[in-house]
Amino acid sequence: MDISYGVNAFCTRLAPSPTGALHLGNARTFLINWAMARRAGWRIVMRLEDLDGPRIKHDADRAALDTLAWLGLDWDDGPYYQRADLTRYHAALDQLAAAGEIYRCTCTRSQIESAQSAPHADAHELRYPGTCRTPRGTTTKYEADDNDIAWRVHADDATIRFQDDFAGDQSHNVQQTVGDFVVASKAGLPAYQLAVVVDDAAQGVTHIVRGDDLLTSTARQIMLYRKLGLGPEPRYCHLPLVLGPDGRRLAKRHGDTRIGYYRGRSVPPEKIVGLLAEWCGLGHRRPMSAVEFADEFDLNKLPHGPVTFTDDDDAWLQN
Ligand code: GLU
Ligand code: ZN
């Protein structure tokens, strides 16, 4: 892959998961990522994160690309599909196995749940108690086709610190929060945490801009960068997610907020960008192109508090 493209060696990526349609909330994150890249001259890689087996929806990849282009976003490289070539992930897993950093896990979710000593803050993110752990340094061989076996990495019981360009100083202890985490799933596919690190390193990504739902994943990813001897580690910028009127993360329960829905009702992309611009602190909503948005965008103006989508926003878009 050519990593010398562009005016400098900096690079970011737009990494949609083809698991559903883009809505106003994730469109805001992509628009900001794109604008920061265009202002700073970072190369933009388009990567479709299509490893999440059961959640992948047919044609959602094409729809995501089409929607982003319709909003006025473009990219310099790709699209690359993670599933198109698993060899680089397998090489990373081989490396971790040879170093005695990963082990096989046969636990079911309910076994992990019943081993919890206290209810966890995030129900999706149970702390793994280490049931199947072998001593660190026990070398093994990674097998991709071992059904019903997941692979976990030894998570260091240490604080990982990083300076997030929007969220500020971060410190996370992966062992205390999630424990040894999955790097390859029972379906024989590399897990998101591993795949994203392998790709960010291979594609020369230096700047990661994404939703702050991934803030707690970042320490895991930095840990994998270090265990795999990859680098330099990227800079991170985690942005707050857009909320619905009930204060919960914008989702289907808030009605149809998909970009495709508004497009189907002849709402022009400039109106959508204009609303997103107001949500970025760029003044009262008014139609604008993605290029105008990039000209005006300023991370310092981005609200740190929650941004809420209201019926009034919906009415403005549709009138
Ligand atoms: N594919 C992920 C998503 O759409 C983003 C992963 C990342 O930015 O690291 O939520
Ligand atoms: Zn286990």
Question: Please, are residues 105 and 306 in contact by the beta-carbon 8 Å criterion?
Answer: no
pTM for the model = 0.94
Specify the pLDDT at position 118: 57
Ligand nearest to the CA of 115: 2
| Alpha carbon distance 25, 249 (integer Å) | 9
| Alpha carbon nearest to ligand 1 atom 6, residue | 15
Q: Ligand 1, residues 52, 192, 199: which to mutate, most atoms within 8 A of Cβ? A: 192
**18-32, 118-132, 199-213, 254-268: range with lowest mean pLDDT:** 118-132
**Ligand 1 atom closest to Cα of 13?**
8
Residue 16: what pLDDT?
A: 96
C-alpha separations of 279 from 25, 50, 67, 175, 211 in Å: 10, 29, 19, 36, 14
Nearest CA owner, ligand 1 atom 9: 196
Q: Is residue 55 within 8 Å of residue 19, measured between CB atoms?
A: yes
pLDDT above 90 (res 285): yes
CATH fold group of domain 11-80+240-318: Rossmann fold (3.40.50)
Q: What integer pLDDT is reported at residue 2 of this predicted model? A: 44
Return the SS3 of 292: helix
Q: Supply the pLDDT for residue 144.
A: 85
The whole-number average pLDDT for the span 136-161 is 93
Give the dihedral of Cα atoms 170, 174, 176, 182; nearest 10 deg: 150
pLDDT at residue 53 is higher than 80: no
Rg (CA), the chain: 20
Q: Which of 23-27, 123-127, 132-136, 148-152 has the lowest mean pLDDT?
A: 123-127
Strand 168-173 relative to strand 159-164, pairing: antiparallel
State how beta strands 181-184 and 168-173 pair: unpaired
Tokens 């006025």 locate to 72
C-alpha to C-alpha distance for 101 and 168, rounded to whole angstroms: 30
Closest ligand to C-alpha of residue 179 is: 2
Give the integer Cα–Cα distance in Å for 3 and 275: 34
Per-residue confidence (pLDDT) for residue 317, from 0 to 100: 98
Residue closest via CA to ligand 1's atom 5 equals 15
Query: Confidence class of residue 298 from pLDDT cuts 50, 70 and 90?
Result: very high
The H or E element containing residue 44 is strand 43-48
Domain locations in the chain? 11-80+240-318, 87-196
Single out the residue of 206, 258, 214 nearest to residue 27, CA to CA: 258
The alpha carbon of 221 and the centre of ligand 1 are apart by a number of angstroms equal to: 12
Q: How confident is the model at residue 117 (pLDDT cuts 50, 70, 90)?
A: low
Can you give the length of the chain in residues? Answer: 319
Six-digit token string for 20 = 């559903």
Which pair of tokens denotes residue 318?
Answer: 């549709």
Cα separation, 318 vs 79, whole angstroms: 32
| Ligand 1 atom index nearest CA of 19 | 4
| Res 26 pLDDT > 70 | yes
Summarised one tens digit per residue, pLDDT across range 236-281 is: 999 999 999 999 999 888 889 999 999 999 999 999 999 999 999 9
Distance CA 223, CA 229 (A): 10
Does 83 or 55 have the greater pLDDT score? 83
Q: Residue 70 pLDDT more than 70? A: yes
Q: Taking 50 as the threshold, does the pLDDT of residue 294 lie above it?
A: yes
Query: What are the backbone angles phi and psi of residue 278, rounded to the nearest 5°?
Result: -60, -40
Domains 11-80+240-318 and 87-196 share a fold: no
- Ligand 1 center–CA 118 separation, angstroms: 29
When comparing pLDDT for 149 and 251, which is higher? 149
Mean pLDDT for all residues in the chain: 93
Best probe residue, ligand 1, of 28, 48, 57, 196 (max atoms within 8 Å of C-beta) = 196
Cα(166)–Cα(103) distance, integer angstroms: 35
**Protein residues with CB under 6 Å of any ligand 1 atom:** 15-17, 49, 196, 210, 214
Between the CA of 319 and the centroid of ligand 1 the distance, in Å, is 32
- Candidates 36, 207, 210: which one to mutate for ligand 1, based on the most atoms within 8 Å of Cβ? 210
Query: DSSP label at 248?
Result: S
**Mean pLDDT in residue range 225-240:** 97
Ligand 1 atom closest to the Cα of residue 196 is 9
- C-alpha–C-alpha distance, residues 43 and 23, integer Å: 25
Which ligand ends up closest to the CA of 17?
1
Q: Is the domain defined by 87-196 classed in CATH 3.10.520.10?
A: no
pLDDT of 7 > 50? The answer is no
CA geometry: angle at 227 spanning 53 and 216, to 5°? 60
257, two tokens: 């907020």
